[in-house]
Structure 1
């Protein structure tokens, strides 16, 4: 024996399902009249098949509910348009789910919203959009996916709307890079957005922590490609350029380690003796002659100075010498003087 309230509930559910299925035909009531043919040749009276579209009065609009987040009101179905307020439907299943690239975070909404730039959603009925992960970007709205950064570019943050080219000295050789890598030791990237690094040329080097290749320092050389460091020019050789092999030092020159050019002794006056320069014989002779001339000049100068000093001393003594008394003078009077009578 059936329970008292079970039959009305089953009848209401059956009617609701039938009305939902009837939404596939939203045309006015139609009549199809087809004569039946009989084997006996007697024409039977026409049979009428009627399909009637339900009206809003056939729905229990008191059960209208707001469309759930991730869906929107469907104004093309009676299950929604019969409800008094837009955004409500007879049951949530009658609402339209948001398509990919669109979302709706609120309930009872009439339309879905497109995902902003840098966001996406790849399934229907989404209440939210997802951020583009690092290494990808999205510069349009309503997208269902993000695009990976091309080789030579990167995006290090979420929700990127564009990718940034790799700077000088760094590279990215694949798509979807979240950061660029620094070129390894002995290699460099001479332009931005590099997909690979090139080896340092001969005469140059680059350590792992450096960005660009550097020219070898003075007295160093490097003749190979892609080197991390340069070599010191060896002893008895000189290196005029960092990208050539060391050159053998001439026999009459000096070339210590790190030499840029050979060093020579001064010709005529010096000559090489082992690792040093010594005086040539002609230089020694010139020094002896020069020394003798200088000594003679000094002696002559001293003698002359002494002679001049003696002459000056004689002149200074002349006023002090006594003068010879002339003849004819007695007691201080000249001999031709006339006597003077004094009287007594």
Structure 2
């Protein structure tokens, strides 16, 4: 027979438990609930499951965890969730995920802030950096020399021409960004890491920003000047007739 609370003149009410000899029903503690009457002891109050919480005593049901927070499963010794926890950095909490587990920010993004509710709130991996795994709180690192990293790069050496590419011909790249043009007297064919990537060979000229050597034109009697600027480094000395 279920215990009777004398003050209530009937069965122990839901949201409470009534131990033998009790006069006043005991409220189920915060973090628990009981939706049936006739509770006999504290253990008859059920812990709030993952994704739910209860911040009040004597309740018949738990409350769903709101967006931007999560309510993790707890050990029985610790009791149920009383106060939702802020969604951790590197994750977002939409409030409708299975069992309210935080969802990691996807590759190509990160989050250094708590309390996100949507993937769109994760920060885009910035230019010159890559974000190579889920759930990052900061970018994985700088991109490799000789490569350009645009937004949302997921590897240090992207070649998809969307998140990044090889350093373009005629230029050199450091730490995932364009660092400048190739120096006069040198050429940069693509993926270069230095402004003096390859020395212009004899018989050719290389203006600033060259991606390939240009043949040095010779007349039968004299030497024509290069089309642009002064004679760059790396040119041979040509004798006149």
Common topology (TM > 0.5): yes
2:58 matched residue in structure 1: 108
Shift of 1:105: 3.0
**Within the alignment, does 1:175 sit opposite 2:134 as a pair?**
yes
2:191 matched residue in structure 1: 226
**Within the alignment, does 1:91 sit opposite 2:91 as a pair?**
no
Distance 2:169 2:30 in 1: 66
1:258 matched residue in structure 2: 232
Contact kept, 8 Å, 1:186 with 1:207, in 2: the verdict is yes
| Residue pairs, 1:240-251, within 5 angstroms | 240=207, 242-245=210-213, 247-248=215-216, 250=218
1:263 to 1:161, Cα distance in 2 relative to 1, 3 A: farther
Contact kept, 8 Å, 2:109 with 2:152, in 1: the verdict is yes
Distance 1:259 1:75 in 2: 87
1:199 matched residue in structure 2: 166
Distance 1:140 1:212 in 2: 42
Contact kept, 8 Å, 2:31 with 2:48, in 1: the verdict is yes
**Within the alignment, does 1:67 sit opposite 2:35 as a pair?**
no
Of 120, 124, 145, the match for 1:165: 124
Give SS of 2:178's match.
Answer: coil
The structure with the largest helix share of the pair is 1
- In the superposition, the TM-score normalised over structure 2's length comes to 0.66
Structure ranking higher on relative contact order (CA contacts 8 Å, 6+ apart):
2
1:111 to 1:101, Cα distance in 2 relative to 1, 3 A: same
**Within the alignment, does 1:139 sit opposite 2:103 as a pair?**
no
Shift of 1:145: 0.8
Give SS of 1:93's match.
Answer: helix
Contact kept, 8 Å, 2:205 with 2:215, in 1: the verdict is yes
- In the superposition, the TM-score normalised over structure 1's length comes to 0.48
Q: CA RMSD in A?
A: 3.7
Contact kept, 8 Å, 1:189 with 1:212, in 2: the verdict is no
Contact kept, 8 Å, 2:180 with 2:195, in 1: the verdict is no
Of 216, 230, 239, the match for 2:182: 216
1:257 to 1:105, Cα distance in 2 relative to 1, 3 A: farther
Q: How many residues align?
A: 202
1:105 to 1:60, Cα distance in 2 relative to 1, 3 A: same
| Residue pairs, 1:42-57, within 5 angstroms | 56=11
Give SS of 1:150's match.
Answer: coil
2:105 matched residue in structure 1: 149
Distance 1:139 1:212 in 2: 38
Gap runs ≥5 in structure 1: 1-17, 21-54, 80-89, 265-270, 274-344
Contact kept, 8 Å, 1:235 with 1:258, in 2: the verdict is no
Shift of 1:146: 0.8
Distance 1:237 1:76 in 2: 92
Shift of 1:206: 1.0
Distance 2:148 2:45 in 1: 59
Of 70, 85, 99, the match for 1:120: 70
Shift of 1:164: 2.4
